[in-house]
Each structure stands twice: as C-alpha cells, then as structure tokens.
Structure 1
C-alpha cells in the first residue's frame, strides 16, 4: 500500500485494499523483508485507493457513502499467473484488472480530493507488491522463487479500510461488494391460504 517510492507512513493515513490471502504462502517471506507495508502490518493485498481520506474525515456519512459505492460492484475472481515490474518494484499481476480499475475509478470519482497515489501517476496499474527499492538482481531472484507458487486464484468480495495508527496498519472496516441480500422484513410475505 506504499506509494511505491516511500516507506514512511503517517498516523491517520488510510487506504482501501482487497485482501488476497491466497498469495500469502508464496509471498509472505519476501514481503516481510522487502515491502514496507507488510512490515507495517498490511497483509497481501491489491490497493484500491491510497491514500484515501485522513482518518479524522471518516465519519458515518463517509462510511455510508463508501458502502453505497462499493456495493454497486459485484464480487469477482482474480487470477495471478505472472510477475510485473515498476521501477525498483516487483509485483504480482491480477487478472483481469478491469474490476479493480472500475472500483478505483468509482471511489476516486466520489472523492476527487483523494486521487490514486495522490495523483502522481496517470495510469491505474493494479498490483500486489512483493518487493520495493531493490536492484534487478534481487527482483530476478524473487521472481524465480515465485514461479513454483503460481498460478493461484482469489475471490474478491469486499474492500477493506485500513488505517495507520502511527505504528501499524489496522483494518478498520469492511465493505461488501454487490447488493446485500434482502432482509426478511423486506420480502413479500406469503398470504395465508383460505381454508376449505
């Protein structure tokens, strides 16, 4: 969840992610050593929007609006078959990327004051970061090691709000994708049959 160039996080920063627990067996040991967000408590994930609003701005109205935006998107499956590179970054490529990009675009459209990565990049490139700030030789070693753990798939059904408390990142809320099932009270009731 770092901005791919910085390993410093501030108290009150927030981000929106989708967890990818299926990635942990393949990437945990590398992420713990070479990804600052992992050392700060963020599990294997694909970032949806970072940075999001400062924690002090996240009130019940923001929660409700975020819930509304996220539930307009249906759950989806991702497949991770290969690695990709950004400058000094090695990541797993989530495919298809389109559902992640649509989520990012929808949330950023609702909160234009929180563009992806602070507006530093023109293109949204969904990715699961494994290592940052490393030379090519190290990234090549990691990539070769990961070949045995690929491919794998993950089902995405929620977006999580993560908050940095000054020391670590903690999950603060989870927002389900897709329309919630109607509540029992909202379902039409069967009318009692007329007795013969």
Structure 2
C-alpha cells in the first residue's frame, strides 16, 4: 500500500493569474482549512457566496520577496490589509475554521513561491475580483466553486 505524504486541504483563496508564470496555481489564501471534509456543505457555500457578494473588487501589488522563519519564500501583497480583512471576516463568519487551524498568532497574507523562482520585475500588478474554493489532494488542485466579489459595497 502506498501512502501519500502530500497534504489534502480545502481553502478559500484568491487566484493570482498575473503570477502563473511563477507558480501554476498562484494564489493568496484567505482561509484554510475550510469546510466540512471532504466537501463544504451547501449552507457553507451559500454563506461564502453572500459574504463575497458584499466585498468590493480591489487592486493590489505583489511588492517583494520575503521569507518566513521556516525558510519558505513568498511574495507579499500590498495592501496587506485588504487580504487580512477578508481573512478576519471569514473567520468571524466561520469561527469553527480558524486560519491554519490556529497554528499562528499572526496570519500573514502571502503567495508562496518555490526556492528557485525567478521573480522579476516587481511589483506585479493584480486584481482581486473572485474568491475560489480550492481543493488540494495528492499534489493536484481542483477548483470546487467560485464567488465573485460584488459591484458595490453591501
């Protein structure tokens, strides 16, 4: 029997197509893990749809390469507050799903990049218009649902 050591996780993310040349599934996590496993409930999906319909699309930049204490490299988005606000809002709505299972006192919005990634030039201009429910299993990403941001603040 072969056992996989790759993670299985579902999370709410903002995909970053502007950075797909660096990372094929480039994304900034809003809340992970998320939902009942193996799939979120219909009620959870409806709440996500309503939450993001009340959010305005926004522009942001990936401004610099940073490194977590673990050695993992990432691109930092600006304004970071826009992503932090989304994470805080979803956690308030779904307190049973703390970001990263509560492993970190401070959640830092980021786009993880490989150690050997060539990232030039910076900044990378990007737009957040849609949140995606993304599932990772055995190294394969699957988009489960998408939630467009609203056109005006609710």
User: Given the alignment of the two structures, is residue 58 of structure 1 paired with residue 40 of structure 2, yes or no?
Assistant: yes
The 5 Å alignment of 1:11-160 reads: 13-25=9-21, 27-28=22-23, 43-56=25-38, 58-87=40-69, 88-131=71-114, 139=115, 142=117, 145-146=118-119, 148-160=120-132
Shift of 1:169: 2.1
Question: Which portions of structure 1, spanning 4 or more consecutive aligned residues, are displaced by more than 3 angstroms?
Answer: 164-167
CA RMSD of aligned residues (A): 2.0
The runs of 5 or more residues in structure 2 that have no matched partner are none
Distance 1:56 1:24, change over 3 A: closer
TM-score, normalised by the number of residues in structure 1: 0.68
Q: Which has the larger radius of gyration?
A: 1
Q: Distance in 1 between matches of 2:55 and 2:14?
A: 13
Q: Distance in 1 between matches of 2:7 and 2:58?
A: 30
- Give the alignment partner of residue 9 of structure 1, picking from 7, 10, 14: 7
Distance 1:82 1:159, change over 3 A: same
More strand by share: 2
TM-score, normalised by the number of residues in structure 2: 0.85
More helix by share: 1
Q: Distance in 1 between matches of 2:108 and 2:131?
A: 17
The runs of 5 or more residues in structure 1 that have no matched partner are 1-6, 29-37, 132-138, 181-196
Secondary structure class of the residue paired with 1:55: coil
Shift of 1:165: 4.7
Aligned length, in residue pairs? 147
Higher RCO structure (Cα 8 Å, ≥6 apart): 2
Shift of 1:57: 5.5
